[in-house]
Amino acid sequence: MASDKELQREATSPISQNNNDINKNISNPMGTILSNPIITGAPIGSRTSANKLYSTGSARGHIAKQVNIGFQEVMRLVNDAFLIKNDTGQLFYALNNIMVNKLQVSFTAMGLYNKHSNSVNIKLIDKIGSTYTTKVIMTDETNPVVKAIKTKKNVTTQDTGFLSSWYQSHASTAIIPLMAIDECIGVYIVGNYHIGATIEFCQLLANSLALFAQTKNLIELAETNSDTDSLTGLANHKHFQEELSRQIQNSENKNESLSVVIADIANISRINRDLGHAKGDEIIKTVAQKIKKNIRNTDFAGRYGGDEIAIIMPSTSLDEAKYMAEYISYVLSCSYIDDVGPIKVSMGISSYPKSSENQEKLLVLAEQAMYISKSKSQETGNCKVITSEDYNFWDDEALKCFAEVLTKKHAQIGVQFEDELINKFHNEKIISNSHLLDVVTSLANTIDAKDTYTKGHSTFVSRYSEALARAIGLPENEVQRIRLGAMLHDIGKIGIPENVLRKPSKLTDEEWEIMKQHPVIGADKVLAPNESLRDLIPMVKYHHEHYDGSGYPMGLKGEEIPLSARIVAIADAYHALVSDRPYRKGMGVEKACEILKMGADVQWDRELVRQFVIIAPSLSTSA
């Protein structure tokens, strides 16, 4: 019979296995400078509940491990990092490796204060190398990050909820101001700092990091050529952002629309590679000159990125902006470049306040439209201007383009694709059953795309669950509820790190504990806030409970497990068994049914298994 570990890729465990408890002691790596040379704590993998991942109390699964890193070695590694790295982000990653691997902290995070947006964009790296970003608004007086910055004093807390991490909670966390001389430029955050490092050492590290970041910023400011991009003569990115902020405020005061156009020049990377960067620069300059010549006096153009030029169009509706963008696209297509031919651009447009009232999201939506335009151009060979109103957000292509934009921008604006997608999901107004099905299907497809090893898994589990629900004679409305719930049974994987989801080899105990949290994440953080889908929670939250009580997250037993969840559990396991995976070939229907029967009354409901085995041969195992 397959074990938990053999089916961990689908988070399916036909028969649970008991683990022996092993005691663990951790030597203090800073023992040469601490009065207490030994600290006993529990590693990530030792926790027993999904919401205490970083608890330091005693728990099962302690693994013996001695850490004997002296103060001099740690300081040598830190010094080397400061000498070698010339980028603040790279230095932060290097210091995180030292803190996590040598000093046994659970995670570190760094956030720099942005005066323009009055916020702190925080990047966190955890013990297994996963990264998370979140934004803290400085008006939130209850947030410990805000308190640390405003008071310029260390803040300690046991609650990591302010980091908005999907699966982390309850860690002894220190929030340390990044002090550059007398100015606080952000925060350095250390989780479970007491395991291997004193607060004084963390503060010394934070102060050094702050001075490095401040020096780097001053160098970059000195190198910045006023507000003008040297290649195109247009406004540079910083100036463009400042002008857009001013224009949005002006539009708000006048109660007028404002549109933003982002144009991406086609094939610049290939041109740079094949014909040299001089040719690429020639094209960028030509595009900039043509745009500057053909926009109105009230419009404002700037170089948005390497091969992207953006235009602010005040007092302009979405339709008017589209008409003007199409004219500019036509003008550019009439411009020929030697060895290249006509200039082609992809253009995306968003509008204030129709698309969004938030500057950052306004730009994200314009970029999303531009990526869709680029995709359409590749399909047809013709340049097409796309607005934020021309596509359905939940369309697969739109979601893919949205992910591309946020992947590129999340470090700048403090938001990740998963967070923004769920936020959009919570605010979506469901207008019909077909609309609900479209949204649910798109969410499921997004999860399957994130976990490439289980592509199409959600759709098959939904089909199998629906078939079993019909086979046992449930009412049609309940069949449809189970169909939707099964489609979303793995929605909690949206909060699981990709290096865990995509790992082709066996998960460690630490990683397995993280994976096991997806039912709770899906139920509590994704479905619960959406009133129209709360009745699907039992299937999402309890589809990994076992009939004998050995499952998770609640350890429910027998008919304590909702019937709908018992149905989804069988469908989930069956598809995991019959589908191919990188680490094994899919089983035949007969073999898979034998495993289900062996697990009856242990993991699954015996009567439901009996019914499923009858219909299994008639179920398709291919798309």
Q: How confident is the model over 90-114, as pLDDT tens digits? A: 899 999 999 988 888 889 999 999 8
Numbers of helices and strands, H then E, in the chain: 21, 15
In this predicted structure, the answer to whether residue 390 has a pLDDT above a threshold of 90 is no
Tens digits of per-residue pLDDT, 23-74?
Answer: 333 233 333 323 333 223 333 233 333 332 223 333 333 323 334 457 788 8
The band of 319, judged by pLDDT with boundaries at 50, 70 and 90, is very high
pLDDT at 565: 96
In one-letter notation, the amino acid at residue 440 is V
Residue 450 — pLDDT band, cuts 50, 70, 90? low
More confident of the two residues 196 and 312: 312
Side-by-side strand order, sheet with 308-314: 300-303, 308-314, 258-265, 345-352, 385-387
Peptide bond between residue 553 and the one before it cis (omega within 30 degrees of 0): yes
- State the maximum Cα–Cα separation within the chain, in Å, rounded to a whole number: 76
**Cα distance between residue 54 and residue 97, in whole Å:** 18
Q: 466 or 116: whose pLDDT is higher?
A: 466
- Nearest C-alpha neighbor of 72 from the set 33, 28, 26, 27: 33
| Whole-number pLDDT of residue 411 | 46
List of domains in the chain: 71-103+105-223 (3.30.450.40), 237-412 (3.30.70.270), 423-618 (1.10.3210.10)
Cα distance between residue 418 and residue 562, in whole Å = 28
Q: Categorise residue 170: left if φ over 0, alpha if ψ from -120 to 50, beta otherwise.
A: left
Q: How far is CA 360 from CA 82, 114, 389, in A?
A: 33, 13, 17
pLDDT class of 228 with cuts at 50, 70, 90: confident
| Angle, alpha carbons 401-405-407 (nearest 5°) | 110
Q: Per-residue confidence at 167, pLDDT binned at 50, 70, 90?
A: low
pLDDT of residue 417: 60
* Residues 6+ positions from 492 with CB-CB distance below 8 Å: 517, 518, 519, 520, 521, 522, 523, 525, 526, 540
Residue 546 has pLDDT above 70, yes or no: yes
Instruction: Give the percent of the chain with pLDDT over 90.
Output: 40
* H-run or E-run covering 349: strand 345-352
Check whether 372 has a pLDDT greater than 70. Answer: yes
Question: Could you give the residue ranges of the DSSP H alpha helices within 1-127?
Answer: 71-84, 88-101
Give whole-number Cα distances, 601 to 84, 471, 549, in Å: 59, 20, 10
Tens digits of residue pLDDT in 573-606:
999 898 876 667 888 999 999 999 999 999 999 9
Can you spell out the DSSP letters for 202-270? HHHHHHHHHHHHHHHHHHHHHHS-TTB-TTTSSB-HHHHHHHHHHHHHHHHHHT--EEEEEEEETTHHH
pLDDT above 70: residue 623? no
Q: Which residue has the higher pLDDT, 401 or 321?
A: 321
User: Is residue 286 over pLDDT 80?
Assistant: yes
The pLDDT value recorded for residue 449 is: 66
Rounded to an integer, the average pLDDT of 205-231 is 80
- C-alpha 470/C-alpha 452 separation (Å) is 30
Instruction: Give pLDDT, residue 610.
Output: 95
